[in-house]
Structure 1
Amino acid sequence: MFQLKSINPKKLNSPLVSIVIPTYNRPGHLVRAIESALRQTYENIEIIVVDDCSDLDLDQFREEFPAVKLYKNSDNRGACFSRNRGLEIASGDYINFLDDDDELYPDKIALQIQKFQRSADPNLGMVTCHLEDYRSGNKQIVRNRVNGDVYRLLLSKFAIAGTESMLFKRSVFDEVGGFDENLQSSQEYDLFLRVSELFTVDYVDKILSRKNRSSDQISLNFDKKMAGAKYLFKKHDERYRQIGFLFWLKMRLKLRGLICRFYIGKWFGEKAYRLTIRD
């Protein structure tokens, strides 16, 4: 049985970090995610699991993980609702979202807190890291090299990898709100975009998290990916126009390209879809 390490009250500069794990009917994955959170070398953490009204036996999990705070939604509302509920419950000065099929490596929180504390930038709102991505069945290294004011870059890039890779100051959510519960995919990109509009970002130059493959992962649900892309472009369309007509046109063409790729995935399968992805 895993238990949280005791907190040393004499240890200075150790703000509380809340790790929020949304889950739905994946007990095996959830155990792995919780254990990765419990293995953090940073001691001052709380772990919050929000079950989206699944068949999960919470009493069994309470016995196995007594230090973890477990909550169940009264009805099925989706992962974004569960993340936002966990955010409301969280007591931490910093927030790390962790999907139940993903993992944190032991030094992740410690190194990202260190990055925050050593920064001279009072407007730093989020620190990310590199990650290992196994969703294709093979290991891929994703390097999130983002630093400073990256809002314009992210608007045009339309990509950011790994909800679990990000550590946020709790206070940023007072300004930007939580996850958009109307989005069916790319929720982390939308959140990162809104954060980067008001705050600077930074990264730890190490691989500190892991995305795992699961049978129901949204990254392979091409209908949801299409719906999410269309919603995102509509949501941020005014921003594109403010930058200029050519930028707006570029983004419209990018949307068409994304939709074509998603149709290829829907009609011909995952392997065909991945052939359309360029580094």
Structure 2
Amino acid sequence: MKASFPRFSVIIPNFNHAASLAQAIDSVLAQSYPAEEIIVIDDGSTDDSRSVIERYAGHVRAIFQDNAGVSAARNRAVASAEGDWLAFLDADDVFLPDRLKQHADWIREEPDLDFLLAEQESRTPDGRLLNRFLAESSAGRMLIAENPNASRMRMTPRHFEALVADGFGEIRTLSVPRAKFLEVGGFPVDCRIGEDLHFFIRLYAASSKAGAVRQVLATYLIHEDSTLRKNPVRTMELFVEALDSLAPEIRDAPMPIRKGYVEKCRHTRLSLAYAYLRAGRRADAIRGVLPSLIRQPGLRTLKDVLSICRGFPRQVAHGR
């Protein structure tokens, strides 16, 4: 028996994205399955964002706050959300027209789902396609191999392991019950980088039944001048810190989550070591990768360490 229609609260945090915010809002207003509400939370913008938001009076619910970071902004919006399901969109990205409908149809058939995902594409602002996650990740390839002709792909904890190892923390295609979000504890307000993955790992650990839609439902726009790309070493340092902060919780997580977490930490520390080498910081590179040998002793991790000690980074597949 089908459940009632899910009511989506779509949350758009914004900080100084006046140039792209209208496009993001428009993509939600254009959904074939309308959202119950659109909450735009402005996190202390100093550009023309307020006037953009005010143009949508009657179509969006606006919240303005002093700058506290994207995690605090999302959490505050969720606290006031009225929908029973949540969807998130950054102010410089867009939903495709069936983003909510594809998930709503599935939720009506299986209302006890812990969360849903979907394929997403990454593009440059001029429209050039960079990648698609499910088609190019180990977790996605596993799902597609198991469901070669299916538009819907069911996920269980063994798939969550691969998602954690791949570092899947793409918020744009996530649909999650508001109650589950609150159970997990929301986004970590003390993480400047990696807050999405931090949340996702805790969500995977608290879930048993989920799914992914094979259709592309959102577009992630990659800006070459983004803060993350300007300082890759500091970005990777903060990412490692975010993952390390999860260690106490991971000790009691289901085994698939623990295994995926250890693998993701290995890959992230190796990426940090590569960044150090490119910056001419060989000693930091060696210190950065050594903890992986303690956490995950074995030939593969030893090769990682030896590679960094020699100063010649070896090619490692994402999530491997």
Alignment pair present for 1:203 and 2:230: no
How many equivalent pairs are there? 258
SS of residue paired to 2:90: coil
Moved more, 101-110 or 257-266: 257-266
- Partner Cα distance (2:279, 2:72) in 1: 27
Task: Report the Cα offset of residue 77 of structure 1.
Answer: 0.8
Further displaced range: 227-236 or 91-100: 227-236
The aligned amino acid for 1:97 is F
Structure 2 residue runs of 5 or longer lacking an equivalent are 135-139, 144-153, 281-312
SS at match of 1:131: strand
Distance 1:198 1:252, change over 3 A: closer
Listed one character per residue, the Cα deviations across residues 150-199 of structure 1 (whole Å, up to 9, x for unaligned) are 47615860510421110111110231111011112222211111111121
Question: How far apart are residue 212 of structure 1 and its match?
Answer: 0.2
The answer to whether the aligner puts 1:63 opposite 2:71 as a matched pair is: no
Query: Which of 97, 109, 122 is the matching residue for 1:133?
Result: 122
Tell me, yes or no, if structure 1 residue 72 matches structure 2 residue 64.
Answer: yes
Query: Aligned letter for 1:85?
Result: R
C-alpha separation in 1, matches of 2:229 and 2:167: 13
Measured on the aligned residues, the alpha-carbon RMSD in Å equals 3.2
Match of 1:38 among 4, 19, 29: 29
Match of 1:29 in 2: 20
**Paired residues of 1:41 and 1:107 also in contact (CA < 8 A):** yes
Counterpart position of 1:254: 267
Relative to structure 2, which stretch is displaced further, 181-190 or 101-110?
181-190
| Contact 1:20 1:49 survives alignment (8 Å) | yes
Amino acid in structure 1 at the alignment position of 2:221: N
| Structure 1 counterpart SS, 2:191 | coil
Is residue 213 of structure 1 aligned with residue 222 of structure 2?
Answer: yes
Report the Cα distance in structure 2 between the residues aligned to 1:202 and 1:83, rounded to whole angstroms: 23
Aligned pairs (5 A) from 1:93-172: 93-119=84-110, 122=112, 124-134=113-123, 138-143=129-134, 144=140, 145=143, 147-150=155-158, 153-154=161-162, 157-172=165-180
The one-character-per-residue Cα deviations of 1:40-73 (angstroms, maximum 9, x if unpaired) are 1112421111111112442453234531111111
Unmatched 5+ stretches in structure 1: 1-11, 268-272
What is the alpha-carbon distance in structure 2 between the residues aligned to residue 232 and residue 249 of structure 1? 10
- Tell me the alpha carbon deviations over residues 12-47 of structure 1, each in whole angstroms, 9 at most, x when there is no partner: 832320110011111121111101111111124211
Distance 1:36 1:263, change over 3 A: farther
Question: What TM-score, normalized by structure 1, do the two folds share?
Answer: 0.79
Please say if residues 185 and 228 of structure 1, whose CA atoms lie closer than 8 Å, have aligned partners that are also in contact.
yes
CA contact (8 A) 1:15 1:44 kept: no
Higher helix share: 2
- Counterpart residue identity of residue 192, structure 2: Q
Q: Is the 8 A contact 1:226 1:262 kept in 2?
A: no
CA distance in structure 1 between the aligned counterparts of 2:277 and 2:10, rounded to whole angstroms: 36
Partners in 1 of 2:116 and 2:25 — Cα distance? Answer: 21
Match of 1:227 among 215, 238, 251: 238
The answer to whether the 8 Å contact 2:42/2:64 transfers is yes
Task: Determine what percentage of the aligned residue pairs are the same residue.
Answer: 22
Cα displacement (A) at 1:208 = 0.6
Cα deviation per residue 1:213-268 (whole Å; 9 max; x = unaligned)? 23325366421332122331242256369859x9697666434313124436767x
